[in-house]
Structure formats: structure tokens, C-alpha cells
Structure 1
């Protein structure tokens, strides 16, 4: 199970994702020569950030798809916890284009409160089977007139 990481001037390296995310990120930083850059992150070729830094103790294979290509990003944290800026460490205009940068710029920290509030739809459960009343009486059993009675074992029936 491997991924391809694009970085630098049209460089690509292959990494095994059958390990913890922390080990993968350390290996990427080491092999791609960006140890002094601080934290790194990955995004797919559309600009969708994979949030590896938030899941460092999970297995990378759970978060990344095998044989996919990802772009290496540098992470710069602002003064606030939600102020995070990603900079692509790839110099390739065919991948890092306006669409990629727009999606990258629209990223929002999952820990930060979202300005959009989702409306919760109430789902009405269907009521139990309604059996029509017979002679003015209503039957509340969904099984009609049948009701279950517990059957006792032979030993229980002998006890008085």
C-alpha cells in the first residue's frame, strides 16, 4: 500500500501508508527535505486537505487511499487556534492552479465552530399498525386480537 507525494519542482516520491500517520509525516519531511519547514500536511490533487495532523495516532491507510497522488503542504499556524495557513510545496502549475488554491483557501478547522448551522429535520416515525375498532372497542395490539402469553416450563407449573 503506497501513495505518491508531489513536492518541489515536479518531484514525486512514493511512501508506504501501512504505518501511523506521525511516522508517515516524519518520513515525508525527511525524504522531501522540508524538516526545517515545521509541520506538513497532505492534500489530494483537488485541494482537499486530509487532516493528518489531527489524526496522528491513527493508521495512515485509514485516512489515505492507496495508489493515490497527494500534494505536500507546509502548515503555518496563526495566533488563534483556528488560524492555519497551508502553502503548497509543489511548483507545478498544472496541479497547483486556481481551483486547487481556492479549495485550499476554503479549508476550515474541524475543531473551530462552524458559522453555518445545519437545520435538523425531524423525522416522524410511522405509528404502529392501527387496527380498526370492532363494536366500538379499540384493539391496541398490532397483532390484532392475538396476544402473547408466557409459557411456563413443566417445573414451574408443578410449583404451587
Structure 2
């Protein structure tokens, strides 16, 4: 009888661990969506590879992140994480964000949608804004370069030296 309990406990433990390891999405999240009456059509993974964009970056305010929120991928968003949000790049996506005013850059994983304010092209967490040197200003002109799209077996990397024409906002 004790053996059956141990076996059941082991099976339940493995199932719990397996549930923790799999993401809440498969492949890429790039379906069209609507926010506040505006329709957005994310790029396909193939279109996003090598994508370069320049525009205004903002950062999430810590007040929203005291308790973890959920990103568009269903992941927890903590105030100490290094991640970001973009309206039209497929999720998840790894990008290099460069502050055009001071040359600082950081590589982050995009796992959320937004920002939906004005001409902003990317929203980053507070640690990223601090690394890029615009935390106190709140906004900065940046360049966003896609390094890869997807995770694990779905990951597509941008070939070395390959860049699409820059999109300016």
C-alpha cells in the first residue's frame, strides 16, 4: 500500500514539474488584435527577422508592478525583470534596444503588447530603462533591432550582417 502512495506521489510530482516547464503559448503569438478601437496586425516571424525600427521608448511605472501582472504571453511581469512590450513584433522576440542619445544598448526579451500611448514604439521595464540611461526622463529615442523570434525549437535567428531597412517613427 505504501508503495502505491509513493508511486502516485512521484507521478503527481512529475506532472506538476511538466506543467511548470511548458509555456502558455506554442510557437509565436502574432494574431491580429484590437485595443481601444485601434487594430494591430503583428508581423510574421519571417517578416520580423532583421527588422529595425527607430522611435520613442518609455518604461513601465513601478506602481503597476508591485504585484506581478501577466504579459501577453501569460508570463508573470515583475518589477525587476528585463523585458519589454511592442505592438507589432511577434512574441516572444529578442531585441537589442539602443538609446540614440547616449549609445547604451541592452538585449531584452519582448513578451508583452504595448505601449498604446502616442508615438511610442517600445515599453521596457525599469531595470532596462536604468541600463539605457533614461529612467529619470521617462522617454528616449531608441533603435530596436530584432535578433531572434521565438523560443526553443521555434527560434529563428537573424543571420549575421542581415538588416532590413530601418523604419522611423
State whether TM-score is above 0.5: no
Q: State the structure with more CA Rg.
A: 1
TM-score, with length taken from structure 1: 0.30
Return the structure number with greater relative CO, CA threshold 8 A, min gap 6. Answer: 2
